[in-house]
Amino acid sequence: MEKTMSNEFNIKQAYYLFLLIRKSEEKIIELYNTDKIKSPVHLSIGQEAISVGVSLALSESDIIFSNYRGHAHFIAREANLDKMWAELYGKSRGTARGKGGSMHLNDLEKNFYAYIGYRLYSGSSGSWLCFCTLNIRKKRA
């Protein structure tokens, strides 16, 4: 679904993303016990509204550092779902070449950076990237 870049809230787009997130999470639950998913997963069922609301408020150029329950953020950002599923299945075409699993989803084309498995690391990584970006723009890197 095309993301609208206006100040007007798009209820159809929000509902589509809510539903896509919920159905994806339910599918993960269904598949997890079959041993097809090759990594531990941390679901974000019930957190759809937060992910969608934040994503719709951001511009395409805004950078996202998610957390270990990042499926909803990844989907709300309309990142590459094929790569997300490939990552969950442990396939080399996944977002982290099948090695990072559920907690290391990323899509640099969408400015969506992977969670690093230490609790406070995403915050410090985000701060570091912000600092570097500001300095690059000022040509002081």
- Whether this prediction's pTM lies above 0.85 is answered by no
Domain ranges of the chain: 11-116
Contacts of 98 (CB under 8 A, 6+ apart): 38, 86, 87, 89, 90, 91, 92
Residue-wise pLDDT tens for the chain (141 aa)? 455 455 566 888 999 999 999 999 999 999 988 888 877 888 888 889 999 998 998 888 888 877 777 888 889 988 888 998 898 888 999 888 878 777 778 888 888 877 665 555 545 556 656 666 665 555 433
